[in-house]
Amino acid sequence: MATDYYAVLGVRRDASQDEIKKAFRRLARELHPDVNPDPKTQERFKEINAAYEVLSDPQKKQVYDLGGDPLSANGGGGGAGGFGAGGFGNFSDIMDAFFGTASQRGPRSRTRRGQDAMIRLEIDLSEAAFGTTKDIQVDTAVVCNTCSGEGAAPGTSAQTCDMCRGRGEVSQVTRSFLGQVMTSRPCPQCQGFGTVVPTPCPECAGDGRIRSRRTLTVKIPAGVDNGTRIQLAGEGEVGPGGGPPGDLYVEIHELPHAVFQRRGDDLHCTVTIPMTAAALGTKCPLETLDGLEEIDIRPGTQSGQSVPLHGRGITHLRGGGRGDLIVHVEVTTPSKLDAEQERLLREFSKLRGEERPLGQFQPGQQGLFSRLKDAFNGR
């Protein structure tokens, strides 16, 4: 054979079909007669069209690679010399070279998957710590009971669209620099479905679904936190045409607690005691999530110290065990004393030799809140 089709397209003999198609599209954009009217360019375009006609057809390509006449395969073709049926047997590939990939054709389905839905659920700290079960009311789309999702009134059915004859699209011929070009668009009568519903269901207006309020039971696992989302598969919106439902997501919102502040799986609170109790020691009752407990304040406790109660915090969401309850101690100093209290306090300071204390100064002394911050940061 006098013509090397691989050389014409500028590809290797072991090139894949994708490489051959890319090479043809690139050359077609450069050499098409309407883009480049030079006579030599037109002859070159005929060559690449003939080469692509052979190499893009597996049967013709096999005959060509074995040294036979590829134009005799499948009844022959238009050859390299013309722009007839054979020469433009790959017209869609030329269109793709200029306008990109053609869209998929055919009617679209009336039945589609529904959207996901999300609701917000408020729970208290105890429910977050130990888990609970909640009944929630959800307003979502469900399958219409009247038409069972078909969208047509009882006793009727969807009919083939007479405009597109069930194809879901209509074609239009326009002129361009390539000549006459056929374009397609969704059928305006059936909206691309290929069928029409002459008598829509009176209950759902042809959508195949209606809004309904349902009650669902949700299991809240122990350890959930603000923003935790619980997925309920298949409990979301039913799709158009009675399509499969989406999922329902329950987003947890934890209500503030009057005493405890949550940090991860640990709980924190502050107890305020007078300096006499801090000096002598005392016991303070505290209503924890597990019931009433006494907090042991040891003698000499300083303001800013903490008392940990291990395992009294939030249950770990993943894995066993619980966090801790940290009780922070704040010691108050009396600001007003009567005469007798002042006399006794001065006598007490004299006994301790603290009438005129010099104080102990240290560089970078931090306040209570700074010390707490550094303690939690591991400093």
Give pLDDT tens digits for 24-37. Answer: 888 887 776 666 67
Residues 6+ away with beta carbon under 8 Å from 42: 31, 33
pLDDT at 58 over 80: yes
> What is the fold, at CATH topology level, of the domain defined by 261-376?
HSP40/DNAj peptide-binding domain (2.60.260)
Instruction: Sort strands 117-123 and 248-254 into parallel, antiparallel or unpaired.
Output: parallel
Q: What is the pLDDT of residues 249-281, one digit of tens each?
A: 999 999 999 999 999 999 999 999 999 999 999
Q: Which CATH architecture has domain 5-99?
A: Orthogonal Bundle (1.10)
Mean local confidence (pLDDT), 232-248: 92
Distance CA 263, CA 323 (A): 10
Q: Is residue 164 a known part of a binding site?
A: yes
Q: Is residue 144 a known part of a binding site?
A: yes
pLDDT at 87 over 60: no
Distance CA 237, CA 327 (A): 46
Percent of the chain with pLDDT over 90: 47
Chain centre to alpha carbon of residue 102: 29
Q: What is the pLDDT of residues 144-184, one digit of tens each?
A: 999 999 999 999 999 999 988 888 888 877 766 556 666 77
pLDDT at 70 over 80: no
Q: What is the pLDDT of residues 198-208, one digit of tens each?
A: 999 999 999 99
pLDDT at 6 over 80: yes
183, 159 Cβ separation under 8 angstroms: no
* Residue ranges of the chain assigned to CATH 1.10.287.110: 5-99
Task: Give the residue carrying structure tokens 């004393």.
Answer: 337
Distance CA 278, CA 332 (A): 9
- Identity at 231, one-letter amino acid code: Q
Looking at domain 110-144+209-256, which of 3.30.1490.20, 2.60.260.20, 2.40.30.10, 3.40.1110.10 is its CATH number?
2.60.260.20
171, 182 Cβ separation under 8 angstroms: yes
The per-residue pLDDT for 124 is 96
Q: Is residue 284 a known part of a binding site?
A: no
The per-residue pLDDT for 359 is 67
* Residue ranges of the chain assigned to CATH 2.60.260.20: 110-144+209-256, 261-376
